């Protein structure tokens, strides 16, 4: 990976090149913005060390062009002024970090290495997202966030196996969709997929529903009937809300898993059944085991390949992607002409905690389409959304943590924006985060508004929030 030094002062460029070469980096040098853009368009560079005062154009013009043309490089700007105004302008234009002249050797090398690592990470993430599902349904899923990309990867991996899969996640996150996606991607895809909701069947009938019964086994059993396990022979049996099973039935399910044989209610005959088990619950299965409500031996038999589905509030930009998908789908079904959401309506969708997850959104968008006319969903149409926070959950990760914990606010500035005191001598990455989080806080937690204020893409802010949460280890739990 190569570093391009854009500096019209040959003496400084020579010093920068010497320091970076000594640190094992390959460098090249140009003196003007025009030369820099020409080289960057040809490719081959990962990092640019860019002086802001060039003989033919301002360095910020180069930054803007890099951003507009989406040239795949990470930019570090060099300025003779360490003012916050210059730092903010550089950040708005897409700079990763900044250096103040005179640049110390250690600071230059550290910043360049960090920029190289950042560009490598950006390329990896871009490749992952390029190969993930985005904008279209894939076995029922919509969304391209990193959280969902991990789920897609897990589905691809476990589909090839015959081992039991245990799916966890809040109600409405798509556990049955996940189970069916596993089945459709597996070698069993041409055989039956049989779903059974253990919470929706009366307790005195659940055994019969799973294993079947013979005529006369109980009152109302007027004929022999195959259960879900037999119907799923050669395919996949999906047991939703598995933690709702009574302990006595859990023992029979364990015996079935160990022997791969089905015994109908009222029969002494055993019948072989080749079934792949996928189960799901919206509870914490280990808590159920510790409370004595779920057999430990059954838990370990089922919990071979775990998949955890993230709640919708933890999926960032997927909220809008899903909303647009459902809007298009239901508008077509209802014969309505909707083409999207207003910016204010999108802010409401992003701020809503979605306690019912994707199922809640599906119902909400259908309601909007049926009760309103297009072409745009406006904020006053969203009155049906209850802006409440579900018990024991976090709001979606786009909401900023209080800026007071990292910044020192002072009196309001002109235009109503608060003034902020930042401590220099920190890496630009730290200053960038402080400025972004303070702006999010000043915008009431709205990322679309923050993006407009800072003149950056909302997706850039979502990615930064995800990276910060991952670094702290306190990101959304799947």
Do 184 and 153 fall within a single domain? Answer: yes
Residues 125 and 150 in one domain: no
* Residue 35: per-residue pLDDT: 93
For residue 32, the SS3 value is coil
- pLDDT for res 127: 55
Q: For the domain that residue 165 is a member of, what is the CATH number?
A: 3.40.50.300
SS3 for 311? coil
User: Do residues 121 and 30 share a domain?
Assistant: yes
In a domain, 134, yes or no: no
Shared domain for 20 and 78, answered yes or no, is yes
Relative to beta strand 212-213, strand 225-226 is antiparallel
**Are 322 and 428 found together in one domain?**
no
Contacts of 123 by beta carbon, 8 Å cutoff, 6+ apart: 72
- Give residue 98's pLDDT: 81
- Return the pLDDT at 188: 95
* Whether 171 and 210 share a structural domain: yes
**Are residues 93 and 73 located together in one domain of the fold?**
yes
Task: Tally the domains of the chain.
Answer: 4
Residue 394: inside a domain: no
- Residues 239 and 188 grouped into a single domain: yes
Question: What does pLDDT average to in each consecutive run of 10 residues of the chain (478 residues)?
Answer: 89 92 92 92 90 87 87 86 65 79 87 80 56 52 86 90 94 94 94 93 88 86 89 95 93 92 90 95 92 93 93 90 92 91 88 91 92 88 59 35 35 58 74 85 78 74 77 52
CATH number of the domain at 92, please.
3.40.50.2300
Rounded CA gap, 237 and 154, in Å? 19
pTM above 0.75, yes or no: no
| Same domain for 434 and 376 | no
Domain encompassing residue 249: 146-308
Q: In this structure, are residues 338 and 331 in contact, taking their beta carbons and an 8 Å threshold?
A: yes
pLDDT, one tens digit per residue, over 97-140 is 888 888 888 889 988 888 887 777 666 555 555 554 444 455 67
In a domain, 220, yes or no: yes
d(CA 266, CA 212): 9
Both structure tokens of 173: 């996150």
Which residues share a beta bridge with 355? none
Same domain, 454 and 350: no
Confidence at residue 451, expressed as pLDDT on a 0 to 100 scale: 78
Considering the domain architecture, whether residues 81 and 201 belong to the same structural domain is answered as: no
Same domain, residue pair 69 and 162: no
pLDDT computed for residue 411 by the predictor = 42
Q: Is residue 368 a part of any domain in this protein?
A: yes
In a domain, 135, yes or no: no
Token pair belonging to 255: 């015996």
């Amino acid at each position: 990976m190569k570093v391009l030094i854009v500096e019209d002062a040959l003496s400084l460029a020579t010093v920068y090149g010497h320091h970076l070469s000594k640190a094992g980096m390959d460098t090249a040098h140009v003196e003007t913005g025009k030369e820099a853009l020409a080289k960057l368009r040809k490719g081959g560079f990962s990092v640019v060390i860019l002086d802001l005062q060039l003989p033919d154009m301002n360095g910020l013009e180069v930054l803007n062009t890099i951003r507009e043309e989406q040239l795949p490089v990470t930019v570090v700007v060099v300025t003779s002024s360490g003012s916050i105004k210059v730092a903010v302008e550089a950040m708005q234009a897409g700079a990763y970090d900044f250096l103040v002249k005179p640049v110390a050797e250690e600071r230059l090398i550290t910043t360049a290495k960090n920029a190289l690592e950042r560009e490598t990470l950006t390329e990896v993430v871009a490749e992952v997202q390029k190969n993930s599902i985005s904008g279209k349904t894939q076995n029922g899923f919509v969304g391209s966030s990193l959280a969902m990309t991990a789920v897609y990867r897990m589905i691809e991996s476990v589909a090839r196996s015959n081992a039991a899969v245990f799916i966890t996640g809040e109600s409405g996150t798509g556990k049955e969709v996940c189970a069916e996606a596993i089945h459709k991607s597996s070698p069993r895809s041409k055989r039956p997929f049989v779903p059974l909701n253990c919470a929706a069947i009366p307790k005195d009938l659940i055994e019969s529903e799973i294993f079947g019964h013979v005529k006369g086994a109980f009152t109302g059993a007027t004929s022999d009937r195959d259960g879900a396990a037999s119907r799923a022979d050669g395919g996949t049996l999906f047991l939703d809300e598995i933690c709702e099973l009574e302990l006595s039935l859990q023992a029979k399910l364990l015996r079935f898993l160990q022997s791969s044989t089905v015994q109908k209610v009222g029969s002494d005959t055993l019948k072989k059944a080749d079934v792949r088990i996928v189960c799901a619950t919206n509870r914490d299965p280990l808590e159920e085991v510790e409370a004595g409500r779920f057999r430990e031996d059954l838990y370990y038999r089922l919990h071979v390949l775990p998949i955890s589905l993230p709640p919708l509030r933890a999926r960032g930009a997927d909220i809008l992607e899903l909303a647009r998908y459902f809007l298009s789908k239901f508008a077509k079904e209802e014969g309505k002409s909707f083409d999207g959401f207003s910016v204010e309506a999108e802010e409401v969708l992003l701020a809503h905690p979605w306690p019912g997850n994707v199922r809640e959104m599906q119902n909400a968008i259908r309601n909007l389409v049926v009760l309103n006319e297009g072409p745009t969903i406006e904020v006053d149409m969203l009155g049906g959304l209850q802006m409440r926070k579900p018990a024991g959950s976090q709001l979606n990760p786009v909401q900023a943590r209080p800026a007071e914990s990292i910044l020192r606010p002072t009196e309001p500035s002109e235009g109503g924006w608060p003034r902020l005191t930042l401590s220099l001598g920190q890496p630009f990455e730290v200053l960038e985060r402080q400025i972004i989080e303070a702006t999010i806080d000043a915008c009431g937690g709205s990322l679309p508004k923050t993006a407009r204020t800072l003149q950056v893409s909302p997706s850039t802010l979502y990615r930064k929030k995800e990276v910060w949460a991952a670094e702290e280890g306190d990101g959304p739990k799947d």
